[in-house]
């Protein structure tokens, strides 16, 4: 069995729970150094007609059409947790897409992104389980497709993928999560706060992986990562990042002071955080 082919197969699975368990099983094989599982970095795989595999629901609508609900009502809290579960489901897909799509990279790249996929699967299952205690399942609320849209736009540009998905869209979760936790704590949902604690810790590592491979790709291409990032943001019309920024988490994830200063100078300070995680 080839890891990259298996990752593509998992990406095509439509049922979120089956996908999550398939990813965790594949990661367990990889972590155990199963001799039957190899990594063929050189193989260029054919892309299936429809990616990613996902269920019929939730209904995908433009981001502006996803209603904001108060987390201080049971329905609003369920909608908020559903939005975060949707992000984690999409994060499984984008990690799997990185594993199968980009050939000719060091073996560590594929191992890193399978680890990310497995941790995102864990996050999804935790959130889906907690959502069930609120009387809802994944698919009950509308959602938007921002994460996958950028994943698709950067499918032919490895440097842009590393720049604009993990270290831009996913990094927004580092900023938004603590603010969401404050509201969930006030609403009395301590289990949700606990789940988000775990997610935040592991997302720092995911963003760090994105930072590492972005800088590796820039060095390989002879690019300066800081100005080239700004070029890519404009070229791909990446969503504008908004403060407040979680400086501690971003520094732990490998952002430099120069990058953080640029972010803070480039955006209006009064605008609330939003995007990769739902705006609190």
Residue 267's pLDDT is what? Answer: 58
- Kindly indicate the confidence band of residue 265, based on its pLDDT and cuts at 50, 70 and 90: confident
**pTM over cut 0.85:** yes
Show the tokens assigned to 244: 């407040």
Mean of the per-residue pLDDT values of the chain: 92
Query: Which of 22, 219, 223 has its CA nearest to residue 106?
Result: 219
Give the tens place of pLDDT for each residue, 170-203.
999 999 999 999 999 999 999 999 999 999 999 9
The residue range of the domain holding 129 is 72-266
Rg of the chain taking only CA atoms, in angstroms: 18
Q: Evaluate whether residue 17 is within a structural domain.
A: no
pLDDT (average), residues 134-163: 95
- CA–CA distances in Å: residue 204 to residues 104, 220, 249: 26, 24, 6
- 164 vs 171: CA distance, rounded Å: 10
Could you tell me the CATH number of the domain that includes residue 189? 1.20.1260.10
- 163 vs 67: CA distance, rounded Å: 29
β-sheet bridge partners, residue 2: 38
Q: Evaluate whether residue 48 is within a structural domain.
A: no
β-sheet bridge partners, residue 195: none
- CA–CA distances in Å: residue 182 to residues 190, 192, 204, 241, 280: 10, 11, 19, 21, 9
- 210 vs 113: CA distance, rounded Å: 9
Query: Which of 14, 36, 213, 221 has its CA nearest to residue 110?
Result: 213
Q: Evaluate whether residue 26 is within a structural domain.
A: no
Q: Evaluate whether residue 258 is within a structural domain.
A: yes
Q: Evaluate whether residue 142 is within a structural domain.
A: yes
Q: Evaluate whether residue 41 is within a structural domain.
A: no
Residue 60's pLDDT is what? Answer: 93
Q: What is the dihedral of CA 194, 196, 197, 199, to 10 degrees?
A: 130
pLDDT for 68 beyond 70:
yes
Q: Evaluate whether residue 126 is within a structural domain.
A: yes
Residue 275's pLDDT is what? Answer: 37
- 89 vs 58: CA distance, rounded Å: 11
> Per the structure, how many domains does the chain have?
1
pLDDT for 81 beyond 90:
yes
Q: Evaluate whether residue 174 is within a structural domain.
A: yes
3-state secondary structure of 48: coil
């Amino acid at each position: 069995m080839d890891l990259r082919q298996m990752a593509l197969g998992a990406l095509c699975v439509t049922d979120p729970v089956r996908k999550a368990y398939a990813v965790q099983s594949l990661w367990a094989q990889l972590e155990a150094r199963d001799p039957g599982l190899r990594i063929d970095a050189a193989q260029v795989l054919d892309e299936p007609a429809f990616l990613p595999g996902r269920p019929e629901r939730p209904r995908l609508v433009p981001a502006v059409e996803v209603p904001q609900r108060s987390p201080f009502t049971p329905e609003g809290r369920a909608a908020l947790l559903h939005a975060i579960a949707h992000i984690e489901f999409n994060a499984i897909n984008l990690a799997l897409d990185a594993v199968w799509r980009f050939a000719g990279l060091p073996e560590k790249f594929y191992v890193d992104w399978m680890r990310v996929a497995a941790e995102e699967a864990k996050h999804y299952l935790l959130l889906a389980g907690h959502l069930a205690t609120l009387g809802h399942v994944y698919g009950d609320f509308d959602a938007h497709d921002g994460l996958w849209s950028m994943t698709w736009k950067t499918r032919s540009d490895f440097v842009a993928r590393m720049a604009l998905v993990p270290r831009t869209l996913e990094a927004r979760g580092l900023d938004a999560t603590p603010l969401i936790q404050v509201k969930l704590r006030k609403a009395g949902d301590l289990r949700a706060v606990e789940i988000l604690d775990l997610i935040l810790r592991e997302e720092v590592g995911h963003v760090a992986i994105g930072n590492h491979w972005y800088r590796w790709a820039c060095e390989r291409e002879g690019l300066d990562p800081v100005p080239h990032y700004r070029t890519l943001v404009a070229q791909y019309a990446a969503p504008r990042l908004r403060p407040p920024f979680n400086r501690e988490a971003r520094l732990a994830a490998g952002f430099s002071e120069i990058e953080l200063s640029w972010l803070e100078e480039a955006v209006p300070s009064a605008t609330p955080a939003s995007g990769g995680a739902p705006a609190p």
